[in-house]
Each structure stands twice: as C-alpha cells, then as structure tokens.
Amino acid sequence: MNYVQNFIPIHGHLFLSALIAAFPILFFFWALAIKRMAAHLASFFTLVFALTISVIVYKMPTVLSVMSATQGIVYGLIPIAWIIINSVFLYKLTVKTGQFDVIRNSVVSITEDRRLQALLIAFSFGAFLEGSAGFGAPVAITSALLVGLGFNPLYAAGICLLANTAPVAFGAIGSPVIAMAGPTGVSALEISKMIGRQLPLISIFIPLYLIIVMAGFKKAMEVLPALLVSGLSFALTQFFTSNFMGPELPDVLSALVSLITLAAFLRFWKPKNIFYFKHEEAAAALETQPVSHTTGQVAKAWSPFIVLTIFITIWGIPQIKLALTGQYAGENPVLKALNAIGGAASFSPDVPFLNNHIINGSHTPIAAMYKLDLLGTAGTAIFIAAIMAKFILKISWKDWFTVFFDTLKELKFPILTILFIVGFAYVMNASGMITTLALALAKTSVMFPFFSPVLGWLGVFITGSDTSSNVLFGTLQQVSAQSVGMNPLLALAANSSGGVTGKMISPQSIAVACAATGLIGRESELLRFTVKHSLFLLLIICLLTFLQSNVLSWMVP
C-alpha cells in the first residue's frame, strides 16, 4: 500500500492543520516544562500521539506509520546512542581508576585566581568534557569542582551553565550534527561547516562575558590578555576543525588547545591582583595547595582522551570513512582490506512495508532503510579507545565490564528518551506533519531567518539536548527555509547554534547543576540567574543568522 503525503489534511485550513500537527510538540513541551513528567515517559507519549495523528488525521496507513517510527528508533540507537554510551564509558574509566583526580589536579594547580580558574575549568575543561562525554557530565563535574575550590554554589552552577554554551553544538563527539544529518539528508560535514561559521563568533565572546557576569567589567579587564588567549585559541580551533575535519572533534580539540594555550600563557603572565570572592577573601591565605603530579602521571591520566582524539581523527578521514562503511572504490591495498571488513559490518536493509511506499510532494517514492554502519560510526572509534584505555590505565577486565554495564544502566532512561524522540521525528517527517508546520512557519516570510534560531532554543530548553532538538526541528527548518528563499544549510545551523543558548535554562541542565552543587530545591533561583543570559545570547544568534541570510551570505559554504 502507498501513502501520498497530504500537507493540509484539513482542506483549505493551513493553520488549523498546523495546529493539529503541532499537538505532539505542544504536548511534549507541556509534559516536560509544566507537568514535569519524566523525559522518557514524555517522549514515549509524544510518539504515541504522533502515531495517532498520522493515522487518524493524515490518513497514513498504520503499518507505514509504525514502521517509520522503527526507522527513527534504529537511527537513534546507532549511531547516536552508541556514541553517547561510549563517550560516557571512557570518562567513567578514568574516574574508576583514579586518573580523573590527576586530570582535575593538573588543571586546578595552575592558578589561584578565581577568574582564571573559571576559564580553565568551566570554559576549557567543561568544553572538553562536553566534547568527549556530554549528557550533563560537563556541568556536573565542573560546577562541583568549582564549589570544591571555594566558589559560591549558585555562582559555580550558573557560570558552568553559561560556559557550556560554546561547545554544546558539537557535544558527545558531534552527536547533535550527526543526528541532524540523518532525517534531513544533508551531509554532517556541510552542517558542521555552517555551524563553524556562527559559533566561533560566540566562543570568542563567551570568556569575556563569563568573567563580566562573575566579577564585573573592571575586574574582567584586569585579565583581558588571558580572555583573548582563551577565547581566540578556542574559536580559531573550532572554526578550523568544524570546517575541515567534520563535527566529531571541534569540542575536544578546541578545548585542549584553549586549555594548553592558556595554561602555558599563565606560566609567563599573572594578573596584578589575585581575585577572590568577597565571602572568601579573609580565608584565602589558609587555602591548601592542590596535589602536584609528575609530567608522566598527567600524561597517563589524559592518555585515554588523547587516544580517543587520534581514533576520531582517523575515522574522520574521508577515504578511511568510506572503507569503514564498505564504500571504498580505490586501489590502496590496506584500504581495500579495511573495506572488506567495513562492508561486512555495514547493513542497510529496507524498512519492511515502508521503503518506496511513501510518495512525497514531488510525486517521488521515498526510500527507507535501516542504516547500520557498525564499524564506521564514531561510537565504535570511541569504544576501541576505551579498550586501549583498559591497558593504559591497567584496569582488570572484570572492572572494565562492570563500568561498561554501570554506564548502560545509568544511561537507560536518557537512551530511551533519544530513541522515542528520534522515532517521533521520523513519524512527523514521514506523515507530512513537519511540512505542514513548515508551510505555516514560512508565512513569516523575510523574518524567518531571524526566528529560525528560536526553534532550536525552544527545542533544547524542553529536551535538554541539542541532539534531540536537531532531530525534532531539523526537517522543519530545512523545508521552511526553502519556502522563504533562505539557504536551508543556514537554517539547520541556526537551529543548532540557537539551541546551545537554551541549554543553560533547560530543566534537565538546571537539575543536574543543582544536584552537583547542593542546590536541590533552589532550581528556580538558578533559572532566574541564567535566563537573562540565555535570551541575550539567543538574540545575538538571531541577528547573526538574519545578517548571514541577507547581508553576509558569503559566509555560507
């Protein structure tokens, strides 16, 4: 049986059709933001509502609707969930072996100045954790670390949430970009390039803004050289890696470059005055010095993430990537051998009953396959790095497997949330609901480029994930942009870039930060602290996107 997509199911009533199509999204917003339902339950019921509307209102055959959900769920599992599982797993191995304490001490022993500690830990170190693990780990770890150093808990949580703005779009080894590439059909590298021509401009500004919020403009100017070193090194690396290496490494490499560059700079430059918060100035002299470690100990502690960086770099090389997915057609004998292995580990079976049974608006059948590149996904590169970490960190196989299964257990509900969200997105896309919303949104006409990032901001505010937001609104952005004459690639990047500004006010992020800093029950205070900064940074992204669409179009690849 075939299904011809009907984008205005309530004939002659576009906005009424759009209202019905928006119901699953509105329900999801209500369930999380107002009802405070558990995310995995909210996403499950949202998927159920989307399936129901697709069948009853859009007249989509039930079997096609259900199978489109399974296509999304499989994509949510591989590559998205596989990347997140192994990212968190690798981080937890360093914690289990005690090497994470060495990593922490190697960072906090560099300076006593609270402003510079915030740059090193909240900005650079937090970005590194976001790039390698994500999923709340960066804010939880860095805010707890700052509290341990003597920061006011509310300030520690707020500063870390604000600092987390710069790396979120490329978090968990590029998961948000990879997730968007699937349902939109746009190359992850192309999306990465465009995001890399927006976010670096914010990344330069974040260190300065962070210290102004923390200590005031005058105190920020006292450490301006360090702010420039931190922001510029991060932004330039973020631009280069996102434009020439893909979405997997911008956070990891930018954070490492920023961290190492600033640490080296602080060996030769010190601020005239050491800054402490007022409540701790009297006790500043009584502070104990952090534990020192040898260069070899520090290198060993960081080595799992260095190995991860090497493998992700290898996985991102175009010819190797083709071989890992069984698509290499060259004559290199090594790559040909790898291609045979990659081909055996890559599967693209048709989605039963769905493949070529949906007819789009151009009267063209839509192909539907389960894409399972088991070796080619970046998650497998991280998993191999975790295997190597077992030998580097000298952890027993028993403990190694214990950490892995503990990671799976800890992430079971976030993974379910991702699977349901991706399934929901595929149902909305296959049924035509996304296009219905896009047609209504396109009525904003020339102002759509300005409002485009707001969708991403709302998505991350509700879901707590740039990955989920990109899956939720990626196709909507794409179709809406085409309707109003905006470059679709710019709209996709705007969704992700706008989304990063919503992370600091997401209920999930707020809850994680409060739990890590002992602020449970004071979530509303933290939200009031961050919401004005979120709206201000969102406005900057909106203006930048509008300019790139109308005046600075040369910035679009």
Residue 136 has pLDDT above 70, yes or no: no
456 close to 83: Cβ distance less than 8 angstroms = no
Other C-beta atoms within 10 Å of 552: how many?
Answer: 13
DSSP single-letter state for residue 365: B
What mean pLDDT is predicted for residues 54-60? Answer: 95
According to the model, what pLDDT value does residue 248 have?
82
According to the model, what pLDDT value does residue 492 have?
94
Residue 463: pLDDT band with limits 50, 70, 90: low
Residue 174: pLDDT band with limits 50, 70, 90: confident
Q: What is the pLDDT of residues 116-128, one digit of tens each?
A: 989 998 898 888 8
* Residues ≥6 apart with Cβ < 8 Å to 106: 293, 298, 301, 302
Residue 285: pLDDT band with limits 50, 70, 90: very low
Other C-beta atoms within 10 Å of 445: how many?
Answer: 9
Asked if residue 40 belongs to a domain, the reply is yes
Q: Could you give the CA distance from residue 23 to residue 17 in angstroms, rounded to a whole number?
A: 10
Residue 376 has pLDDT above 80, yes or no: yes
According to the model, what pLDDT value does residue 281 have?
54
Distances in whole angstroms, Cα of residue 214 to Cα of each of 201, 233, 277, 279: 21, 21, 9, 14
Q: What is the pLDDT of residues 399-413, one digit of tens each?
A: 999 999 998 887 787
Asked if residue 287 belongs to a domain, the reply is no
DSSP single-letter state for residue 305: H
Return the residue matching tokens 């808990």: 153
Q: Which of 33, 69, 37 is nearest to 51 (CA)?
A: 69
Asked if residue 320 belongs to a domain, the reply is yes
Return the residue matching tokens 């109308």: 550
Is the bond leading into 79 cis (omega within 30 degrees of zero)? yes
Residue 44: pLDDT band with limits 50, 70, 90: very high
According to the model, what pLDDT value does residue 170 have?
87
Asked if residue 285 belongs to a domain, the reply is no
Q: Which of 286-300, 442-456, 527-541 has maximum average pLDDT?
A: 527-541
What mean pLDDT is predicted for residues 72-95? Answer: 84
Asked if residue 343 belongs to a domain, the reply is yes
Asked if residue 355 belongs to a domain, the reply is yes
Helix (H, G, I), strand (E, B) or coil at 534: helix
307 close to 385: Cβ distance less than 8 angstroms = yes
Least confident of 210-214, 382-386, 404-408, 464-468: 464-468
Element (H, E) at 513: helix 507-517
Residue type (1 letter), 170: F
What mean pLDDT is predicted for residues 272-277? Answer: 82
393 close to 400: Cβ distance less than 8 angstroms = no
Q: What pTM value is reported for the model?
A: 0.75
Residue 278 has pLDDT above 80, yes or no: no
Q: Write out the residue range of the structural domain in which residue 57 sits.
A: 3-277+292-555
Asked if residue 282 belongs to a domain, the reply is no
Asked if residue 284 belongs to a domain, the reply is no
How many folded domains does the chain comprise?
A: 1
- Residue with the bigger pLDDT between 467 and 93: it is 93
Other C-beta atoms within 10 Å of 216: how many?
Answer: 10
